[in-house]
Structure 1
Amino acid sequence: MIDKTERLRGERTPYVLATVVRAERPTSAKTGDRALVLPDGTMEGFVGGHCAESAVRDQALRLLESGESTLLRITPDAGGDPLDGLVTVTNPCLSGGTVDVFLEAVIPPALLSVYGDGPVARALADVGRAAGFDVRPSAAADPPPPDAAAVVVATHGRDEEAVLKAALDAGVPYIGLIASRKRGTAVVSGLDGGDRVRTPAGLDIGARTAPEIALSVLAEILSLRPARPRRTGTGAEPDVHHHCCD
């Protein structure tokens, strides 16, 4: 399973790792059993029978939307006092038994494509990685990755229009151009949808050096990213009870 998770990380595929941390007979699962849940609902591994599998899949798909992790208890009796951080579902199967499963959502970090090899481009790579981004230096001929969260063009006049057009066509959420206000305005004025390009890229924090400019750009990207929704039962309201097979 380690090889599988490494491959998923390399492919930037989100997944949930489900690990049985406590099993009370007569459940068929044992402590340490594990399974992977993919965005299409596919499960690989074992965390119990059909009822447990159904509950784990349902909760895991919720977590893939929220990006959070949680502890799931599957039990014949969902009554009693709720515990903080614990989501409880009723196990309707005749076999009974209680199983606690830790669900860890593994979401790829935001992908930032940086075009250019000058000081600002290099600073964007360094500061971006320190901030937790997956930074990919890109050549002008490289199309934006389909899941890119941001594209920043720092080529200083080389192939800017072509790269910006490709990013606009791909619907990249954030597109930034490192340029003076005058030149940047001239570059984007001829692009269809050019009003979506941030130029000069970055928040106005009085940045002067390449690392400061990189910091201002990353701050702008973060300020514009959509808030991740919080779903009932995924941490916002951890004591809510669910029925696994409704």
Structure 2
Amino acid sequence: MTGTVSARALELARRRVPFVHARVVRAQAPASAHPGDEAIVHGDGTIDGFVGGQCAEGSVRTAALGALHGGGPLLLRVLPAGEDAFPDAPGAQVVVNPCLSGGALEIFLEPVLPPPLVEVAGDTPIAEAFLTLAQVLGYATARSLPGGRPAEHTAAVVVAGQGHGDAESVRAALDADVPYIALVASRRRGSALFDELGLDEREKARVHSPAGLDIGARTAPEIALSILAEVVEAVRARPPMPPPAPPVEAVDPVCGMTVTVTPGTPHLTTDDGELWFCGTGCRDRFAAGLVG
């Protein structure tokens, strides 16, 4: 990535914010973009960087938000009206953009989603083994202090203090509504801890204790593996960090293009309500028609 876009991407990754990386891979004159131009598309539709003029940018914005919301990586081909388009294929999408002045573009859109975050409370051998295995899977990991509130969007909390701060860590994870909570303890000790905390039946059901799948584990690494398997099952069943809600889309009444509505999208207020346009050209032509 170019310096500015790369720095912005690193900042978003550090903050665990989902975004789409857009890179121009092919451009046909007289397109204003060039191969290698790139941008970041945020969850609200705003764009940092450059992948084409206003008309191309609108097509990129709409396709990128679709990719961010479960569509996966996408090769987008933006064509001026009248160009012959090749058929859609898995992983590719063709958009005919009537307001494009000329020059086809191919842009690769790659959603960048933060890996699941798992917090571990404790410094026992099981805790250490779990951290090592979770990192092998590419999960983000962090240690938490007893009673410390888990970070936002934490997918799982594994309480492995074996008596040191376990009650405080379980209570903090429950209060933060963490999707998966595991307590490394025997059934007897786990039950006693639940009673100590005064948990109701709903709260007890949210804490996996004894932690992990029953695979006959005995050693610390084996127990850690059984817990990690249960974490994977929970994460896959419930994505830990869904992308932001998609912005509203509208159809340009002049060219028929689908437009993603953002604060900067050209629009007009008419007797029939708000109308949104792909660019100022379509808006001005529509306004001229109303006046005439």
CA gap of 1:41–1:137, structure 2 versus 1, over 3 A, is: same
Q: Which moved more, 1:196-205 or 1:33-42?
A: 33-42
Q: Displacement, 1:67? A: 6.9
Task: Give 1:80-159 correspondences, 5 Å limit.
Answer: 80-159=86-165
Query: Helix, strand or coil: the match of 2:259?
Result: coil
- TM, length-normalised to structure 1: 0.88
Q: Displacement, 1:201? A: 0.9
Query: Do the aligned partners of 2:147 and 2:165 also contact (CA within 8 Å) in 1?
Result: no
Query: Helix, strand or coil: the match of 1:22?
Result: strand
CA distance in 2, matches of 1:21, 1:172: 40
Task: Tell me what 2:65 maps to.
Answer: 61
Are 1:191 and 2:199 matched, yes or no? yes
RMSD, aligned α-carbons: 2.1
- Runs of 5+ consecutive residues of structure 1 not aligned to the other structure: 230-241
CA distance in 2, matches of 1:67, 1:60: 9
Are 1:44 and 2:48 matched, yes or no? yes
Query: Do the aligned partners of 2:79 and 2:85 also contact (CA within 8 Å) in 1?
Result: no
What percentage of aligned pairs have identical amino acids? Answer: 47
CA gap of 1:92–1:144, structure 2 versus 1, over 3 A, is: same
Query: Do the aligned partners of 1:67 and 1:106 also contact (CA within 8 Å) in 2?
Result: no
CA distance in 1, matches of 2:66, 2:100: 26
CA gap of 1:108–1:194, structure 2 versus 1, over 3 A, is: same
Q: Which string of whole-angstrom CA distances, capped at 9 and with x for unpartnered residues, describes residues 99-126 of structure 1? A: 0001111111100000000100001110
Q: Which string of whole-angstrom CA distances, capped at 9 and with x for unpartnered residues, describes residues 128-177 of structure 1? A: 00011101011114210111000010011122222111111111110000
Bigger RCO (CA 8 Å, 6+ sep): 1
| Partner of residue 216 from structure 1, selected from 212, 223, 226 | 226
Q: Give 1 or 2 for the bigger CA radius of gyration.
A: 2
Are 1:4 and 2:8 matched, yes or no? yes
Q: Which amino acid aligns with 1:15?
A: F
Query: Helix, strand or coil: the match of 1:245?
Result: strand
CA distance in 2, matches of 1:150, 1:32: 38
Q: Displacement, 1:69? A: 1.2
CA distance in 2, matches of 1:183, 1:210: 18
